Structure 1
Amino acid sequence: MTSVLILNGPNLNLLGQRQPQVYGRTTLDEVAGMCRTAAERLGVDIVFEQSNHEGTMIDLIHATRGRHQGLILNAGAYTHTSIALMDAISSSEVPTIELHLSNVHAREDFRHRSYIAKVALGVICGFGPRGYVLALEAMAAHLLEDRS
């Protein structure tokens, strides 16, 4: 069965508590539940992870190769700073979708730059927790297209 890693970066463990006016009140556990429901409907397996540590995230991305067919990445602030995450995605050769809860383009200027977007299939931002389901649907469609 098709497997997708959904990887969440720094501070997302505080989802639902941290800046709810920006990120909403839905917790990361609730997002994981939404993803599991969507994955079941789409016929894909998911692994849902979160880390505040860049090196751990890199290790998880490296481990996608040969294990998962897709990666959905909400790298948080590392999106705007981490060439290492960008390189890990390139090295893994696994299709990747960049994801953000908020519309990063409507926020501070430093958030307009993304290293992840340079190596991603696409970017989904601004739809809150629903963005995770949209990303799963987009990834499933992409992976099914690859099979045809």
Structure 2
Amino acid sequence: MLLHHILQGKSPEVISVTPDETMLEVLRLFRDNNIGFVIVRGAPGECLGTLSERDCCRAIAEYGTEAPLMRVADIMNLSVPTCSMHDVLPVAMAIMTERRTRHVLVMDGDTLAGIVSIGDVVKHRLEEAMRTEQDLHNYIAGVSYH
């Protein structure tokens, strides 16, 4: 399955924050939107980095009680994993595994097309497994077999 097919089934909205927001503001955004990852944007269309729940945990472990009031620019991840919207799902899975991340930015050239999360991977792999199981059942039962 191509990544652009996965993105077609998702909301086109990508939630982003500015580098000047605080970690506490981002954590509230995570809570309010039931998410754990945002893009840090500069100028329109510019991705400066990302911030995840894991990045926030690291900041708390390193800076303690100062962390929630720190600027996103000071704790964001600058090493952003990306792939192409024309890549197949296993490419995104490999990137997630190699980089030990739960999110990969999907690019259409230089433009952000969307985000694929580990949850998206599991959902699509489960659907694929269920289709395969149903196809095998139909084959064995002689149903819908040509």
Q: TM-score, normalised by structure 1?
A: 0.30
Q: TM-score, normalised by structure 2?
A: 0.30
Rg larger for:
2
